[in-house]
Amino acid sequence: MVLVIGAALTAYGRRKDGSSFRDWACSAFDAALAMSGLERTDVDALVVASESDFFTLQLNPASVLAQDLGLFGKATLRVEGGGASGQLAVHAGAERILSGRARRVAVLGVDPSASALGGDCVRRLYGYSFDAWTDGMTGVTATALYALSWQAFAAEHGGSDADLAAVTIKNRRNARSNPGAHLPRAHSEEEIKASPMIASPYRRLHCSPLSDGAAVLILSAPEAAPANRRKSAARITGIGASSAMPGLGHRTNPGRFIAKTRAMKQAVSMADIAPSDIGLAEIYDAYAGAELQGIAALGLADDVVYAARGGDFAPAGRCPVNLSGGLMGQGAPVGATGVGQAATCALLLEGRYHAALQPTRTPRHALADTHGGIATTCAVTVFSAGAAA
């Protein structure tokens, strides 16, 4: 068991104030450290998630950030797994504690995904994040690949354009109660239908933005946590990760996120719970359909389209999904995304999240789910409420 004794996120968005990723990292770290009750000298190791050196223009960012954070002499590690980088960094931090190599670990996710490069450059770069030979160098875009995967899923499960619009509306509505969100919006289905087509059936408003921002967790072994944090802190009770073939054409079913299913089985087995025990989830919704595909792969519903239409994943539903607004509403600074999802789950389980989004009845278990590629590199984390929750 690993305790989350500190958790913080900066606001996500496109920064135009002259600040850098190093400033955001320091801001999130200071807030998480204050929540933890620790001093800088108490932290044994720093794990950094940063997807691309093209964004930060900083090779070996972990050592530079350790300097900025005042973690002199501490062990440092940089983790990269595409969109899954942040969640994999959480796993790396938890594993250091579970192995006995560290007692307290800071996990930092950060990327200037919005302000570092122009849109055309980012689209080309992300083409190389799949299989560069078969995808990126042919000019295939992430949106086109996600659209093909959704088409296969919808043909099997009956999903429609209206279902995509409903995900967009839900997540951006949730973001309106999140003061740190990039895209808090009140969309209508008509507005979504009128937005430009990018790759059928995905229109611009079905897509998540690129964002700037940072998120930090302070993890601790139970016996190493300050006394006032041991009972109330959320716990990491299960982790799982898996991978799939990078090319959709190499998969038996391009609409199913099989690696996500395998990662979930590992995580719930470690936590000794069933998927039905999950009471809220932060799901990787790079595109509207990816949320529904993710929910299905994670086993959170037998018939995901029917469950979504029935309100199961709404804020007052059986298992609220993306109360933060998700990538579509809160935003997506790539290296920070998985760490931010984890921070959101921990804060929700502790009752410390934004008041308008805090569930009336806090569940016992929450799930953070992130992937890179088209669910090529998948990472899942189960959190459980503390004894005092």
- Distance, in Å, from the CA atom of 93 to the CA atom of 78, rounded to the nearest integer, reads 11
Task: Look at residue 173 and tell me if it is in a domain.
Answer: no
Task: Look at residue 365 and tell me if it is in a domain.
Answer: yes
Structural domain count of the chain: 1
Output the six-digit token pair for 267: 């995580």
Q: What pLDDT does residue 210 have?
A: 93
Residue 387: is it exposed, middle or buried by C-beta count within 10 angstroms (0-12/13-18/19+)?
exposed
Task: Look at residue 153 and tell me if it is in a domain.
Answer: no
Task: Look at residue 184 and tell me if it is in a domain.
Answer: no
Q: What pLDDT does residue 58 have?
A: 92
Task: Look at residue 189 and tell me if it is in a domain.
Answer: no
Q: What pLDDT does residue 388 have?
A: 63
Cα separations (Å) of 328 from 5, 32, 207, 347, 378?
Answer: 27, 24, 6, 20, 19
Report the 10 Å Cβ neighbour count for 152.
Answer: 17
Cα separations (Å) of 305 from 152, 171, 281, 283, 293?
Answer: 14, 16, 17, 15, 10
Task: Look at residue 26 and tell me if it is in a domain.
Answer: yes
Task: Look at residue 185 and tell me if it is in a domain.
Answer: no
H or E element, residue 106: strand 104-112
Domain CATH number, residue 249: 3.40.47.10
Is 0.85 surpassed by the pTM of this model? yes
Q: What pLDDT does residue 130 have?
A: 84
Q: What pLDDT does residue 116 have?
A: 84
Task: Look at residue 161 and tell me if it is in a domain.
Answer: no
Q: What pLDDT does residue 389 have?
A: 56
Q: What pLDDT does residue 197 have?
A: 97
Q: Which residues pair with 330 in a beta bridge?
A: none
pLDDT tens, the chain, 389 aa long: 999 999 999 999 999 999 999 999 999 999 999 999 999 999 999 999 999 998 999 999 999 999 999 999 999 999 999 999 999 999 999 999 999 999 999 999 999 999 988 888 888 888 888 888 888 888 888 999 999 999 999 999 999 999 999 999 999 999 999 999 999 999 999 999 999 999 999 999 999 999 999 999 999 999 999 999 999 999 999 999 999 999 998 999 999 999 999 999 999 999 999 999 999 999 999 999 999 999 999 999 999 999 999 999 999 999 999 999 999 999 999 999 999 999 999 999 999 999 999 998 899 999 999 999 999 999 999 999 998 65
Range(s) of the domain holding residue 305? 2-117+210-384
